[in-house]
Amino acid sequence: MRAHLLTLPLLLAPTLVAAAPPRKAKPKVEAPEVKKPTDDPATMLPEPAQAHGGATRDGRAVARVAAPPALVFTAATGARIYSTPIPGRGAVVVVGSGDKSVYGFGAEGTKRWSVAAEGPVDASPAIARDGTIYIGSDDGKLYAIAADGALKWKIDTGDRVIGAPAIGADGTVYVGSESKQLFAVNPAGRVLWTVSTGDGILGAIAVGHDGTVYAGSDDGKLYAINADGSARWKLDAGGAVRGVAVGDNGAIVLTTLAGRVISADLDGKRRWYFQTKGKVYSIPAIGRDGTVYATSGDGNLYALAGVDGALRWSFRTGGPITGSPMLDGEGRVYFGSHDKRLYSILPTGTVNWVYIAGDKINSSPTLTADGTIYFGCDDGKVYALR
Judge if the upstream peptide bond of residue 365 is cis by omega within 30 degrees of 0: no
- Cβ neighbors of 95 (< 8 A, separation 6 or more) are 77, 81, 83, 84, 85, 86, 102, 103, 105, 125, 374, 376, 382
Q: Which residue has the higher pLDDT, 351 or 6?
A: 351
Q: Which residue has the higher pLDDT, 21 or 308?
A: 308
Helix (H) or strand (E) holding 225: strand 221-225
Instruction: Report the C-alpha gap between 29 and 231 in whole angstroms.
Output: 26
Q: Largest Cα–Cα distance in the chain?
A: 58
Q: Sorting pLDDT into bands at 50, 70 and 90, what band is 305?
A: very high
Instruction: Report the C-alpha gap between 205 and 379 in whole angstroms.
Output: 27
Specify the pLDDT at position 29.
60
Q: Was domain 3-21+51-385 assigned CATH 2.130.10.10?
A: yes
* pTM as predicted: 0.91
Instruction: Report the C-alpha gap between 347 and 355 in whole angstroms.
Output: 18
Q: What is the pLDDT of residues 174-231, one digit of tens each?
A: 999 999 999 999 999 999 999 999 999 999 999 999 999 999 999 999 999 999 999 9
Specify the pLDDT at position 3.
59
Give the whole-number percent of the chain exceeding pLDDT 70. 89
167 in Cβ contact with 124 (< 8 Å): no
